[in-house]
Every structure is written in structure tokens, then in C-alpha cells.
Amino acid sequence: GAVVSQHPSRVICKSGTSVKIECRSLDFQATTMFWYRQFPKKSLMLMATSNEGSKATYEQGVEKDKFLINHASLTLSTLTVTSAHPEDSSFYICSASGGLANQPQHFGDGTRLSIL
């Protein structure tokens, strides 16, 4: 089945650091990628939708200058958490889709971000 690789799986860093998370589709072309955030024992909250070669669409309440998304190719999207603070600590998960609505979304294994 389709595989989505997310890296790194865990990051611990100091407040003020910028952190980049990569999401790669390994065996299919991901026209659309999605970035989610998950708080402990909560469901996934969509942060933004990115389409290859265009600007990401952010959900209401998500700061686009805080969470920079780049989708430069059909197999790679990155999320950069700029000047991270402790309140940004969370579990971030990406997913990828081939672009057709009847296709499933395939998820990465997530990144646990801890800001000290």
C-alpha cells in the first residue's frame, strides 16, 4: 500500500528555535498534502492544506507566519514551526492524497515536538 514517511519522529529543542518537519510520499505522487495537529487524547485538527506548486490554505485560527508550509514537489511537503514556544509542543501528523476525492488519505507516523 501507499507509504508516507514523516521525519523526524521526535524533536526536543529550546524555545525560540525553528523546527522543520518533512513529509514524503514514497510510492505515489501526492497532489495534495495535509498537516494536522493533535493534542493529548484529542482528535486530529486540520491546520492547512497544501497543493504542489501553490500556497497552502490555512484553517481559521492557524497562523501562517508561525507554521510555514512548502510543497515544492509532488513527493515532499515541509512544515516549519518558526520561533517555537512551549505552547507549540504537540503531535504533528501529515497526510497525502493523490488528489482524487475518492482516494484514501495516507498518513505519516507523526512528529512529537517538545519545546523546552
Partner 1 sequence: KQEVTQIPAALSVPEGENLVLNCSFTDSAIYNLQWFRQDPGKGLTSLLLIQSSQREQTSGRLNASLDKSSGRSTLYIAASQPGDSATYLCAVRHTGTASKLTFGTGTRLQVTL
The footprint of partner 1 (CB under 8 A) covers: 6, 32, 34, 43-44, 46, 49, 57, 91, 93, 95, 97, 101-102, 104-110, 112
What grid cell was written down for 56?
Answer: 497552502
Q: How many angstroms separate the Cα of 104 from the Cα of each of 5, 32, 61, 91, 93? A: 16, 12, 26, 22, 16
Residue 36 CB, nearest distance to partner 1 (Å)?
8
Q: Which is nearer to partner 1, 16 or 56 (CB)?
A: 56
Cα–Cα distance, 99 to 29 (Å, whole number):
9
Residue 27 CB, nearest distance to partner 1 (Å)?
15
Residue 78 CB, nearest distance to partner 1 (Å)?
17
